[in-house]
Amino acid sequence: MAKNNFVKNNFSEKYRVEEGNKFQLKDWETSSGEKIDEDEAEDQLKEIVEQISDLQNILYADNKWSLLLIFQAMDAAGKDSTIKNILSGVNPQGCEVYAFGRPSVEELGHDFLWRTTKCLPQRGNIGVFNRSYYEETLVARVHPELLKAQCLPNNLVTENIWEERFEDICAFEKHMARSGTKVLKFFLHLSPEEQKARFLERIDNPKKNWKFDKNDLYERTFWKRYMHAYEETIQHTACKHAPWYVIPADNKAYARLAVADAVLSTLKDLDLKYPSLSDEIIVSLKSFKGILDKEEQDIYKI
C-alpha cells in the first residue's frame, strides 16, 4: 500500500489559485504537513512522469495544443531540480526549456514581454520558463534601479506601473489561451529557514559549492519585499485560464510530486487523441500492406 497517502489523482488542485482577489500569502504553507517516504515518492513520481510522457507523445502528434510551465521562486527553492525531474523521460524533441536571467542590453531595448514571447512553445510542445516575464513585477519591483535601467519614457513610469504590467500580463495570457497554449504558473513557496539550510549545504558540500552565489545572500535580505511582490502578482494575475499553483517547497520530493500532478491533470483534461487517418487512407491500408509484402528484395542487398 502506498505510504504517501496524499498522492491521489489531482491532489495538486488544493494549491491552485484561479481567483486572486482574496489571495493572501500568509494563508499558504511552505510545508505540506505530510510525512514523506522518500523512496515511495520517487516511485510515485516515476509513475506520474511516465503518464506525462505518454500524453506528451499524443500532444506532439495531435499538434494543436501547447503547454507552458512557468516557474518562479526565491533562490534555492528547487526550480532546476523540479524541472529536471518532472521532464525526465519526456521526449526532448517535444520540449523547450528556457532560463531567464538579467536581461541583456538588446532585451532591455524592447518591451518587457519581448524576450519571452520569442520563446513560447510551438504547437504540440511543452515549454518551460525557468523565471519569466513575472520577474518584471517581482525583482524589478523590489529593486527600483532595475526599472530605471529599462529606459522607459519618464511619463510612462508612474505609480500605476505595476497595475499596468499586471493588466498587460493578463491580456497576454488570455491571448495565449485563445491561441491554444495552456499556461500553468508555479510559485515554489519556500521558507527563509529552509533557504538558509540549503545555502549552508551549498557552502558545506563540495559538490554543491558551484551553486553558491553570494548575491543570493543579498537578495535574501529583501525577503519581505519579495513576498509582498509575489502576493500582489498572484492576486492580480491568477485566473482560470492561467492559474497559479502555490506549491509548498520546503520538501523537494513533495514539491515535485505536486507539480508533476498538476501537469498530468492538465494534460488529461485536454482529452488528447492521436490524429486519425482519413477514411480514404483507412480503406487503402490493406493495399499498402500488399505493396510492402510484394516489394523488390533488392533494397535489402548492399
Q: Which residues bind Mg ion (CB under 5 A)?
A: 75
67-96 footprint of ligand ATP as x/- string (CB under 6 A): --------xx--xx----------------
Residue 165 lies near ligand ATP (rule: CB under 6 A): no
| Residue tagged 529593486 (cell numbers) | 143
Q: Which residue is nearest to Mg ion (CB)?
A: 75
Q: Where are the alpha helices (DSSP H) in the chain?
A: 38-62, 79-87, 105-108, 114-117, 139-142, 144-148, 161-178, 192-204, 214-220, 223-237, 252-269, 279-294
Residue 76 partner contact from Mg ion, ligand ATP, none using kind-dependent CB cut-offs of 5 to 8 Å: ligand ATP
Is position 168 an interface residue for ligand ATP (rule: CB under 6 A)?
A: no
| 49 vs 77 by CB, closer to Mg ion | 77
CB of 200 to ligand ATP, least distance (A): 15
Q: Shortest distance, CB of residue 216 to Mg ion, whole angstroms?
A: 5
CA dist 163 and 161 (Å) reads: 6
Q: Are 193 and 78 in contact (CB under 8 A)?
A: no
Q: In what order do the strands lie in the sheet with 16-17?
A: 16-17, 244-248, 181-189, 66-73, 126-130, 95-99
Q: How far is the CB of 9 from ligand ATP (least distance, A)?
A: 30
The C-alpha atoms of residue 180 and residue 37 are separated, in whole angstroms, by 38
289, interface contact from ligand ATP, Mg ion, none, CB < 5-8 Å by kind:
none
Residues near ligand ATP (CB under 6 A) are 75-76, 79-80, 100-103, 130-131, 135-136, 139-140, 146, 211, 213, 216
